[in-house]
Amino acid sequence: MALQEVLQYLDDHRDDHLRQLCDFLKIPSISTQPEYAGDIHRAVGLLTDELAGLGMQPEVIETEGYPLVYAQSEQREGVPTLLFYGHYDVQPVDPVDLWKSPPFEPVIKDGWIIARGASDDKGQMYSHIKAIEAFVRTGIDLPVNIKMIFEGEEECGGESIASYVHKNSQKLGCDMVVISDTHMYDEQTPAICTSLRGLCYMEINLKGPAVDLHSGIYGGVIRNPANALCRIISNLHNEQGRITIPGFYDDVFQVGEDVRREFSRLGHNDGMIKDETGVKAVFGESGFSSLERMWIRPTCDVNGIWSGYTGHGAKTIIPAVAGAKVSMRLVPHQDPNKIADAFTNYIKSNCPDGIEVDVKLLGAAKPVLLPRESPLILAGKTAIEKGFGHKAVFMGDGGSIPIVGTFQESLQVPVLLLGYGLLTDNIHSPNERFKVDHYYRGIRTTALLLEEVAG
């Protein structure tokens, strides 16, 4: 009956909870651009004020980068402990002219909250706080011990929290980590994510002539760094979409036939990808289905490329330099550092005479495999089924959440990936959004989770 009261509280406070999320979303806490440092600290202030109001004893942990916010409920003996993680920083907003409303002025439209960070991750992490609020405000004891840690560098490397978790495994000790920073399988199908891809993010810089040259005078005798870069990048794949870096596939875990069959039963079809992305045809490594290519096969994509003149009209130069950001999504059990070395060696061996090359690693995350059979994970599955009113499935996720691997390794507990978002939320893109109904159902799911885990 206590739970009913909690759920009733949530129903009664929907408008407040939506307004409060919007206040959080108004803060442009972009971590990759130093000019927003002040806003990062405003986001920290908002969180600590709120957590203090719930009696959660918040603590601002200074780091070499942006602060961590830690909080905990009173810790009782004999009940399980959950550690909730989230991130209060958001992606940059470029290209800003494609936004239909300003990214930091949240708009509620047709059942969606539209704002940068709505789904990734402010809306999802904030659900957990609102669920706890319901227990605290109704005076009902939290059925489990709660710990929470929020970081402000997820979108720019997440180094501070990784090192903090490694050094503070006792303080953060728990029975399960809960993270809502993923998405449902589709709008009708909640999901527990049990695998994540890793990441190896590289930058290549080529240097040709000392300065931009006149392409008429010198065209024909100078190795053009932009042309050379195109050839190097082109050589990263063969015609079948396989990556050609020597040794790249050596450590790839071959997923069992049972899991492949489970994926295939999800009834995914490429029409969905086309609708979601606007492409006319899908493309990927031959021999695998689209779900497999997204969840359990590695990739290599150009994230950005630059060289020479990119303004209006014609400028007849041979550029002095060319560069690209290239990242690889990795799968268990590929090692990002080993892949970075293989990539670097391959790029250098492909760089022609007359061009100098520099290759550097900008970011790395290990791929993750989570235990489907853990009772705590199964409790999460039940909670989300009740919260969303639909049967849940196990799925993979093509993205990387480096902290998941860190938690697994340092705390030696399962990590529950309880995604309230949708794949179509435009995270990292213009017009990011979060379904208002999912926000409410997410809060409800978190409340139910505490009960399920305690039970």
Nearest Cα to 439, choosing from 173, 114, 157, 185? Answer: 114
Length of the chain: 455
Q: Which 96-115 positions form the footprint of a second copy (CB under 8 A)?
A: 98
Asked if residue 219 binds a second copy (CB under 8 A), the reply is: yes
Q: Which of 64, 139, 210, 261 binds a second copy (CB under 8 A)?
A: 210
Q: Which 410-429 positions form the footprint of a second copy (CB under 8 A)?
A: 423, 426-429
Q: Which of 35, 64, 257, 353 binds a second copy (CB under 8 A)?
A: 353
Q: Which 323-342 positions form the footprint of a second copy (CB under 8 A)?
A: 323-325, 327, 329
Asked if residue 236 binds a second copy (CB under 8 A), the reply is: yes
Provide the mask over 141-160, with x wherever binding to a second copy is found by CB under 8 A and - wherever it is not: ---------------xx---
Query: 1: burial class by Cβ within 10 Å (0-12, 13-18, 19+)?
Result: exposed
Asked if residue 307 binds a second copy (CB under 8 A), the reply is: yes
CA triple 152-383-259, angle to 5 deg: 85
Q: Which 7-66 positions form the footprint of a second copy (CB under 8 A)?
A: 32
Nearest Cα to 437, choosing from 10, 5, 6? Answer: 10
Asked if residue 366 binds a second copy (CB under 8 A), the reply is: no
Q: Which of 216, 246, 247, 371 binds a second copy (CB under 8 A)?
A: 216
Q: Which of 73, 81, 91, 446 binds a second copy (CB under 8 A)?
A: 91
Q: Which of 244, 303, 337, 349 binds a second copy (CB under 8 A)?
A: 303
Q: Write out the two tokens for 39.
A: 């806003």
Asked if residue 283 binds a second copy (CB under 8 A), the reply is: yes
To a second copy, the closest distance from the beta carbon of 159 in angstroms equals: 12
To a second copy, the closest distance from the beta carbon of 393 in angstroms equals: 17
Q: Write out the two tokens for 449.
A: 């989770």
Nearer to a second copy, 74 or 356 (CB): 356
Q: Which of 63, 251, 308, 335 binds a second copy (CB under 8 A)?
A: 308
Nearer to a second copy, 219 or 375 (CB): 219
Q: How many CB atoms lie within 10 A of CB 99?
A: 20
Contact 120, 428 (CB under 8 A): yes
To a second copy, the closest distance from the beta carbon of 189 in angstroms equals: 16
Distance between terminal CA atoms of the chain?
Answer: 14
Q: Write out the two tokens for 155.
A: 């979108």
Asked if residue 252 binds a second copy (CB under 8 A), the reply is: no
In the sheet that holds 68-72, the strands lie side by side as 59-61, 68-72, 145-151, 81-87, 176-179, 415-417
Strands 433-435 and 107-109: unpaired
Size of the site for a second copy (CB under 8 A): 95
Q: Which helix (DSSP H) or strand (DSSP E) does residue 290 occupy?
A: helix 290-295
Q: Residue 123 in 3-state DSSP?
A: helix
Nearest Cα to 401, choosing from 87, 61, 88, 92? Answer: 87
Nearer to a second copy, 231 or 348 (CB): 231
- DSSP letter string over 258-287? HHHHHHHHT---HHHHHHHH--SS----TT
Asked if residue 211 binds a second copy (CB under 8 A), the reply is: yes
Nearer to a second copy, 410 or 426 (CB): 426
Sign of CA dihedral 111, 116, 121, 125: negative
Q: Write out the two tokens for 435.
A: 């379904």
Looking up tokens 């990739």 gives 299
Q: Which of 334, 344, 400, 410 binds a second copy (CB under 8 A)?
A: 400
To a second copy, the closest distance from the beta carbon of 77 in angstroms equals: 40
Nearer to a second copy, 73 or 224 (CB): 224
Strands (E), 331-400: 356-365, 368-369, 393-397
To a second copy, the closest distance from the beta carbon of 331 in angstroms equals: 10
Asked if residue 230 binds a second copy (CB under 8 A), the reply is: yes
Q: How far apart are CA 252 and CA 249, in angstroms?
A: 5
Asked if residue 306 binds a second copy (CB under 8 A), the reply is: yes
Q: Which 424-453 positions form the footprint of a second copy (CB under 8 A)?
A: 426-430
Asked if residue 302 binds a second copy (CB under 8 A), the reply is: yes
Of the candidate spans 55-63, 122-130, 315-323, 373-381, the one that interacts with a second copy by CB under 8 A turns out to be: 315-323
Asked if residue 189 binds a second copy (CB under 8 A), the reply is: no
Nearer to a second copy, 102 or 284 (CB): 284
Of the candidate spans 1-9, 65-73, 77-85, 202-210, the one that interacts with a second copy by CB under 8 A turns out to be: 202-210
Nearer to a second copy, 70 or 394 (CB): 394
Q: How far is CA 332 from CA 87, 196, 250, 251, in A?
A: 24, 8, 11, 8
Strands 415-417 and 176-179: parallel
Asked if residue 67 binds a second copy (CB under 8 A), the reply is: no
